[in-house]
Structures are given as C-alpha cells and as structure tokens.
Amino acid sequence: MDSLQRMLNSIEYIESHLDNELLLDEIAAIACMSRFHFQRMFRMLTGYTVTEYIRNRRITIAAQELVYSKSKVIDVAMKYGYESPEAFTKAFRRIHGIPPSDAKKHSQSLKAYPKISFQIQLKGDVEMDYKIVEKDAFTVVGKSIRTTTICGENNQKIAAFWNESNQNGLSKELAKNCGPLGLLGICIDFDKQQENLTYLIAAEKNIDQIPVEWETRQIPAATWAIFPVHGAMPDAMPKVWDRIFSEWFPATGYEHSGGPEMEVYLSDADPYSKDYYSEIWIPIERKG
C-alpha cells in the first residue's frame, strides 16, 4: 500500500498549500512519481485532474472564508491565487452559481468539494488476474499518431485511428505479414511535460520487406505485467486500464517503469463480441 500512502501524502501537501503556489512537479515528487504518471493515476483514482481538484478545493475554502470571516473579496481572491477579482468572481460563480459578494449572505446555498481520501476497494466478485513475464527487446512495424492526453483526448483520437486502420486495410496487412503476438496498440514516447504521447498500431516484425510508409520501432527488454481483458471493444479495454491504476498498482509492490505500454489483440475473433479476448501489457519494476 506504499503507493497509496504516497498519494495521500500528496493530497496532504495540496491541502496545506492551497493558499500558496502549487507546482505539479513538486506534488508528483511527494508521491514519488513522474508528473505524467501522477496525473494519470490521480485522474483514474478520483475522476478529476489535479488542476480541477485544486481549483475546486480553493473555491470551497474561499467560500467558507467569505462566509465566516470579514475578509474582502479582493483579499480572498489574491490569497487563493487569482490574478484579479474578476477572474475569481467568474470561477466562483461557475462553481457556486452566485458572485462571491453574495456568499456573505448566510441564506445563500453553496457547494462544497471535500478533501479527497483514498482507499482501495477491491471488487470481490471480479478478481484481477495477471501474470509477470520477462521479454527481450523486439522490433515492431506499423503506423502512428501523436496525441495529447489532456482531458482524455487521446482516447477519442486512438479510437478514431483504429477505425481508420480497420477501414483502410492497415490492420489486416499487419496481422497477415507480421506476428506472432498479433495486433498491438503501443503507447510510446511519452512527453511528460507537454502531456502527449505517440500511439502506434503495429505488430512484431517477422519479414524483411515492409511497405515504405510503415515505420519501425524498437521495444526495449522489460518485465511486463500482463492483464487479460474479456469483452467487446472498445468498452472492455478502458475498464481494465482504470482498475490497473486504481486497484492493482496501489495494492501491489510494483510501479510503472516508464517504458512503452501495449494493448495486445491476440484473437482473430470479432472484437465487438462479448467473448473477445485481449491483453494489456505494462512495463513494471519493484519499488525500491
């Protein structure tokens, strides 16, 4: 549960610095994670981005301060990091539905976003199967897109990329000419500052001559945690991803090693069938 405790430590840090500048790199460091993986796990655990959580908590605390103290709106706005009373009023109205000056009227209804507390809630009727394997470096070929991870835009773009690849024949050509793992969806080249990544639809290379428009990439040797995925695409895959980060990582002695991640489509069956089988491969390492 060490990773869960580190996440709790990061929340405590946020709470104690709501009236100061909060930097994502510093918050992530307290959780002993990169900025990218901290934001990802935070979103999967809470449903909020880190920025959304901080904004909501500041507006909640600011409302309480306006109600129960004699502080001026401009002073509260400056205290919680707003550049102007107008920016504070806009944010306040968006959350509470009233301007901050009205918050001093005790009859007004206000919203409260409570401090988050994490706990592991394993679904007893749906255990998490997984296996750990070692795999040497290998070469893949295919095509890729670059996408941001902000606000889940990567999920939409990746789904559209798969639809395009299925329609234009790329998926069939990869499956026919390359193997043996089958079709792969690979997240690679994470830019943790800009919050974007490359998504590659690919397969292991097993032929010398490949189409000129395909690209070749090397996947490094790694220890992989492999999770089975049962169910129709595209819904089944995101559910397992969520459980890996919200349940499996916090409950085990492993952490993400920072390498590429893979979705492995082993079956030739209908991917929209409820019996479809696929896998998620995540590079891992033991916590130090």
Q: What is the pLDDT of residues 215-249, one digit of tens each?
A: 999 999 999 999 999 988 878 888 888 888 877 88
Q: What is the pLDDT of residues 6-61, one digit of tens each?
A: 888 898 999 999 988 898 889 988 988 777 778 877 887 777 888 888 988 888 88
Residue 64 binned pLDDT confidence (cut-offs 50, 70, 90): confident
d(CA 179, CA 188): 19
Residues 53, 13: contact at Cβ < 8 Å? no
Look up residue 128 and give its amino acid.
M
d(CA 285, CA 172): 34
- The chain-wide mean pLDDT, for the chain, equals 83
At CA 32, angle to CA 145 and CA 119, rounded to 5?
Answer: 95
Per-residue pLDDT, 51: 87
d(CA 245, CA 90): 34
d(CA 164, CA 170): 8
For range 170-191, the mean pLDDT = 85
* Better-predicted residue by pLDDT, 9 or 71: 9
d(CA 124, CA 100): 45
H or E segment and range at residue 158: helix 153-168
d(CA 30, CA 17): 13
Q: 172 CB contacts (<8 Å, ≥6 apart)? A: none
Which three-class secondary structure state does DSSP give residue 125?
coil
Q: 118 CB contacts (<8 Å, ≥6 apart)? A: 4, 7, 8, 11, 45, 250
Chain-centroid distance of CA 171 in Å reads: 26
Residue among 28, 27, 33, 4 at smallest CA distance from 15: 27
Per-residue pLDDT, 267: 67
